[in-house]
Amino acid sequence: MIKTVIFDLGGVIVPFDFNRAYAKLKALCGLEPDAIRAQIGAADIVPAFESGHMHSREFVQRLTAALKLNLTFEEFRDLWFSIFDPHTLVPESLLLDLKQNYRLVLLSNTNELHFDLLAERYRLLEHFDHWVLSYKVGAMKPSPVIYAEAVKHAHCEPAECFFTDDVPAYVEGARQAGIDAEQFLGYDKLLADLRARGIPVSA
């Protein structure tokens, strides 16, 4: 029997598209999106940042240097946050519905630069009983470490948790940890997955 429902954040609750940030960066540095992506990858700082091994200001300093940008911390923060849409992929009503009978845990690969603003601007995140965030845990999905942390805060056995994530490798990582998990392919499929497990949800 499921006792806790665990949600991924980006691509499940909040939609995002890095191309929006790349378009703004192109206007500032003149590089095409593929070149920007390559430069960011070559800098090799995102995994350290999202694992909590690098502070936001160092990340911004190193990334702006790699792209030869002259931006303040605040200017870059707002640009980097522009990847997120203001609407959500699941309604707040679903979380309120689930919260009546289930514990809710958020499990996300993210960083403090993004999450501080996400928590401020997406109020539905307040409905979660606990946030398990890669930069605070010190490990990213699909590491077993972060799933173990999620189960710890689920307050139940792994098999009593249901997890949804849009990335197949992260779903598989959860399954390897003993968690019941399904790929998020849209709100309708999520409702079907929940109902298949005896979790009552309204449309």
Nearest to 177 by CA among 148, 138, 153, 137: 148
pLDDT for 202 equals 83
Record: fold of 4-15+87-196: Rossmann fold (3.40.50)
With 90 as the cut, is the pLDDT of residue 203 above it? Answer: no
pLDDT for 191 equals 98
pLDDT for 69 equals 93
pLDDT of 20-36, one tens digit each? Answer: 999 999 999 999 999 99
Q: How confident is the model at residue 10 (pLDDT cuts 50, 70, 90)?
A: very high
* 8-14: average pLDDT: 98
pLDDT of 61-108, one tens digit each? Answer: 999 999 999 999 999 999 999 999 999 999 999 999 999 999 999 999
* 50-60: average pLDDT: 95
Nearest to 134 by CA among 170, 161, 88: 170
For the chain, the domains span 4-15+87-196, 18-81
pLDDT for 25 equals 93
pLDDT of 150-195, one tens digit each? Answer: 999 999 999 999 999 999 999 999 999 999 999 999 999 999 999 9
DSSP 104-145: EEEEE---HHHHHHHHHH-GGGGG-SEEEEHHHHT--TT-HH
Record: fold of 18-81: DNA polymerase; domain 1 (1.10.150)
pLDDT of 96-145, one tens digit each? Answer: 999 999 999 999 999 999 999 999 999 999 999 999 999 999 999 999 99
